[in-house]
Structure formats: C-alpha cells, structure tokens
Amino acid sequence: MELLSGGEMIARFLKDEGVEYIYGYPGGAALHIYDALHRQSDVKHVLVRHEQAATHMADGYARATGKPGAVLVTSGPGATNTVTGIATAFMDSIPMVVICGQVMSYLIGEDAFQETDMIGVSRPIVKHSFTVKHPSEIPAILKKAFYIASSGRPGPVVVDIPKDMTMPNEKYEYSYPESVSLRSYTPPAKGHSGQIKKAVDLLLAAKRPMIYAGGGVIMGGGAELLTKLAQQLEYPVTNTLMGLGGYPGTDKQFVGMLGMHGSYEANQAMHHSDLILAIGARFDDRVTNDPDKFCPSAKIIHVDIDPASISKTIRADVPIVGPVIQVLEEMMALIDDAPARSNQDAIGNWWKQINEWRQVHGGRYDTSSDKIKPQAAVEACWRATNGDAFVASDVGQHQMFTAQYYKFAKPYRWINSGGLGTMGFGLPAAMGVKMNFPEETVVCVTGEGSIQMNIQELSTCLQYGLPVKILCLNNGYLGMVRQWQDMNYEGRHSNSYLDSLPEFKTLMDAYRHQYVEIRTKDELDAKMEEAFAMKDQLVFINCYVDPEEHVYPMQVPRGSMRDMFLSKTERT
C-alpha cells in the first residue's frame, strides 16, 4: 500500500471520489493541504475571493448536477465565512462537503490564533460533521462525509481537520474506501407497498386532484418519472419554488408555481382540491399560508425521503417514506394495471374550472407603461436564451419574477436559494454551474442590491474565464423590502433605497468584463440578444426596470391558499 501524508490523502481521496473541482481559499491551518493540491493535477482548485462564494459555487454545481460539491477553507475566519453558504445548502437539502482546516489538535480549546469551534458553530446547519483525530482516519471520514452528504435527504457535511493531521512528513497507508457502512445511518430504500397501493387507489378515484412537486423530485432524480405519471393521469401539476423545472413549465398541465407568489390558478386549485399528491416537498410556510386554513377538503398523500418532513406542519393521510424514483415506479406499475377509471367526467370538470381560474390573473402585468417592467425583462431573457439556459438567481423581487416568467422546461436548470433566501447566492452559484457546463448559457438574474453581496467574484470570473451573463434588474431599491414597506408600513421606505450605486460600467471595465445597458422598452430584445451573443465574455446587463413594480399574486398573510392580492388594487 501507498504511504501518504494527511494532506496528500485529501488530494488523492478527492480524485478517487471523482471530484474534479474544489472551491476554496487558503490559510495557515490548511497550508499542508494546499501544498498537497499543488503537487498533483487531477483535482483542480478554484480560488474564490471570499469563502462564502466557494460554498455557493459548490452549491451551484450540486444543484445543476445532483452531485456533491466540495469546498476547502482554512480555520477561524475562513471557516466562519462559509456559514451562510452551508446554511443555504442545508435549507435546500443540497449535497456538499466542506473541509475546514483547524489549529493543531494540541492547541484546541486554548483560543489559539484563528481557532473557531467550527463543529459547534455549524452544528445546527449541517447534516453531520466530523473531526479528524488521526491522519489515518482521513480516507474513511471523507468517504463517510461524501456518502452522508449525497444519500437520503442530501445536505452539507463539515470535516474539521487540525493542522497536525496533515503534516507532510508523517505518512500513513492509504487506500480508497470503496464502500461505507454506518450502523446508525441507513437512508430509506423503499416506500411501503401497502401505502403506495392506498395512494394509487386514492389517486385514481380523485375528482379534484393536484400534484404538488418540490425540489426533492429534482434532487431525487425523479423529474422524468413524475412528468410521465402526471401526463398519464392528465392531472394538474404545480411546482414549489425549489421544484421548478421538475415538470415542464410550458406544458398545458402545468398550472404554475404555488405559494406566497404562486399563480392564481395553482393556489385556487390547491385550495379546492380533494386530493393532493405532495412529492419531494415539505409544506413550507411560504407554500401553505395559514396551516389551519390549508386546503380544507383535501386528503394528502405525502411522499418524501425524510420521515421528519412528513406530518411536520400539515398532517398526511397517506405518508410514504422512500426515494421518489422507487415510489413513482411502483405507482406507475399499479396505475398501468388498474382497470378503467371512473373519474373521467370529474377530471374534465376540474380542468374546466382550472381553465376558468387561468383567465382571472394569468400572469398579467401592465404592458402599456413606458417603463421596462421586470416581468418583460425576464421574458426577453427567456426569448434570448431559447428558454434553455441555466438560471441562477439572487434573492428579491427579481427572483420571484424569474420564477414566474422564465418557464423552465428541464430540471436542474433553476438554481436559487429557496429556503434561506440568501442574497449574494446568484453570481457564485452561476459560476459553479458555468465551470462545469462551459458550453451552456448560464445567467445570473440579480438585483443591484444582491449583486453587491458577492461582487468581488467578478475577479474570480476573470481568472478562470467564466463568461456568465449577469442580468441585473436594476430598480434602485431593495425592491422586495420596499414592496413590504409599501404594503405594511404605509410606504415608509426605511433603508430600502440604495444610494450611491457604483457605476457598473466602470466596475466592469475595472474587471475587464463587458457591459450592456438597457434603458428603454424598445431596445429590450435587441440589447438582450447583443449581450447573449458575446459567448466568451462575462456581460453585465444593467436593465433599468420600473422601481414601483410589485410581485403579484401575493398571498394575504394568515389567510388560506386562495387568499391573494392580485395587484395593488385587487384582492380575492
């Protein structure tokens, strides 16, 4: 067997695990590891400008591929800078392994230079964490870390490695652990057949069914199967913010996103349905509105890999714990064998009702204004990219407009921080995607507020040649905050106006990137195309949009699913 130092084992393990890129930033406690990385060429290290961006890059990669992203940082400030990125991944169940340097093991607890209890700091936002206590443990611990991060309900795992575990001159036997077993961790492999049968019986008898599919369908690799099932049944499908693309957004059975900024028809249909098939979704508070008023006549089938997600906020009538693929396959088989259905008429009426609802709001916005509406900008982006780009988003109104108006046709293409709502996520996430899909168009839709939270990464884009397109819906406000202030604080815009915005043109010049400005409606499509035509360059598209615009529909606080504001003057 080969003898390797701890640092070399890390580099070698990453290669053996099939990790191509690791995103990170060096520092004292991680220097042995960095030296080992320098002396090999299989694993490529991507140097960001702030550790938070490293986590979002790894996260973007993970969301676009379903595979775990890898991060390497030093102890203390390096580690604490990853906290927001780890929490972002945790909330959205994204597989990620974060390797943190740590001070020498004999110094731990002494408030040594750059010592932070990273295991303690990260405890509530990780799926699990490890501390290395002997260099020989490194391969096994890393194997467990990658396995835990990517199996079951995925999530981030932190591995804390004291500097003396990676000493260059202390070598130990290395072999890649092919398998891993943990006596206290066995992700569910199969849903309960009796429950699946019960679910299918209910599905086939339903009069007003709804399929409510979340991000778990995408991360569980079940998007194609779910689409097949929905189309075979001809039932309406709604996606959560995390689930967009899990069902083709342009299909006639798709009724739009549901929840706080969901479509009128999706929220109405949910409220009136008699059977909800919830799959890979978790009845988030931004979906259900007041749980006591949630879908009063619906029976609920809830399929999820995480038993703790089931009946957490909304009680399930038929809970099914299992991987989406396996559960859907078993459902499909039962549906194929089922005798002719008796609910055809009811389903016909249901669609009639839904199509009426579609007429009520239908994603309308004011197209007569001479200002550029953010919705129109997103639609122009959709046209310029043939609806086929990877779209990473920041957080705010622009995020909701993108979710509503960029009709995602495929899974893994919509990359957004749904659960934590992390401003600053968009650019580095887009970079992580672009790095791994160099031939694809990758857009970061952002606001002039969000982009400034990780704008230093423009430098990383320059270093690695990452020609992402940044579409900044510039409304001169922290728009989402302003909207809430308009609605709930009589328009008192406390600290939601961003004075002193940088000259983005000059900034792009400084970073040697391209800049396109869109000020009027009539130049929207042409300028958008011009920007996307610059394939090999990062282009910052500064699109000045109507600062007064609000995101609608918007659910009325503490109401039911169907209680919505439809514009500044209308509500249900």
481 counts as binding ligand TPP under rule CB under 6 A: yes
Peptide bond into 553 cis (omega under 30): yes
- Residue 54: helix, strand or coil by DSSP? helix
Select the binding partner of residue 60 from Mg ion, other proteins, ligand TPP, none (C-beta < 5 to 8 A, by kind). none
Site for other proteins in 273-312 (CB under 8 A): 306-308, 311-312
- Crossing angle for the helix pair 6-16 and 138-150, nearest 10 degrees? 40
424 counts as binding Mg ion under rule CB under 5 A: no
422 counts as binding ligand TPP under rule CB under 6 A: yes
129 counts as binding other proteins under rule CB under 8 A: yes
Nearest CA to 417 out of 89, 69, 62 is that of 89
In which residue are the tokens 């990658």 written? 146
3-state SS, 71-124, equals EEECCCHHHHCCHHHHHHHHHCCCCEEEEEEECCHHHCCCCCCCCCCHHHHHHH
Longest alpha-carbon distance in the chain: 76
CB of 374 to ligand TPP, least distance (A): 7
Q: Give catalytic status of residue 487 as yes or no.
A: no
Q: Which stretch binds Mg ion (CB under 5 A): 314-322, 360-368, 478-486, 507-515?
A: 478-486
Q: Which stretch binds ligand TPP (CB under 6 A): 188-196, 430-438, 478-486, 564-572?
A: 478-486
Cα 96 → chain centroid: 13
Q: Which stretch binds other proteins (CB under 8 A): 82-90, 126-134, 260-268, 544-552?
A: 126-134
128 counts as binding other proteins under rule CB under 8 A: yes
From candidates 240, 397, 402, 454, binder to ligand TPP by CB under 6 A:
397
- Residue 538: helix, strand or coil by DSSP? coil
DSSP conformational letter for 166? S
CB of 452 to Mg ion, least distance (A): 10
The one catalytic residue among 40, 110, 113, 207? 113
Interatomic CA distance for residues 202 and 218, integer angstroms: 24
3-state SS, 187-247, equals CCCCCCHHHHHHHHHHHHHCCCEEEEECHHHHHCCCHHHHHHHHHHHCCCEEECCCCCCCC
- Using CB under 6 A, count the residues that bind ligand TPP: 20
Q: Give catalytic status of residue 480 as yes or no.
A: yes
The one catalytic residue among 331, 480, 508, 564? 480
Interatomic CA distance for residues 219 and 230, integer angstroms: 18
CB count, 10 Å around CB of 195? 18
Distances (CA, A) of 479 to 285, 425, 476, 543: 22, 17, 8, 14
Q: Which stretch binds other proteins (CB under 8 A): 120-128, 225-233, 238-246, 401-409?
A: 120-128
In which residue are the tokens 């996520």 written? 425
H helix runs in 318-473, sequence order: 324-337, 344-360, 374-384, 397-405, 426-436, 458-464
Site for other proteins in 131-190 (CB under 8 A): 131, 148, 182-185
546 counts as binding ligand TPP under rule CB under 6 A: no
124 counts as binding other proteins under rule CB under 8 A: yes
Our CB check for ligand TPP shows the closer of 129 and 375 to be 375
119 counts as binding other proteins under rule CB under 8 A: yes
Q: Give catalytic status of residue 440 as yes or no.
A: no
The answer to whether the CB of 331 falls within 8 A of the CB of 338 is no
Interatomic CA distance for residues 59 and 124, integer angstroms: 18
CB of 165 to other proteins, least distance (A): 16
Site for ligand TPP in 63-122 (CB under 6 A): none
Site for ligand TPP in 402-421 (CB under 6 A): 421
From candidates 243, 374, 479, 553, binder to Mg ion by CB under 5 A:
479
Q: Give catalytic status of residue 163 as yes or no.
A: yes
Residues of the shown chain interacting with Mg ion in the complex, contacts defined by CB under 5 A = 447, 449, 475, 479
Residues of the shown chain interacting with ligand TPP in the complex, contacts defined by CB under 6 A = 394-398, 421-424, 447-450, 473, 475, 477-481
Active-site residue numbers?
51, 113-114, 163, 480
Residues of the shown chain interacting with other proteins in the complex, contacts defined by CB under 8 A = 119-120, 123-124, 127-129, 131, 148, 182-185, 306-308, 311-312, 315
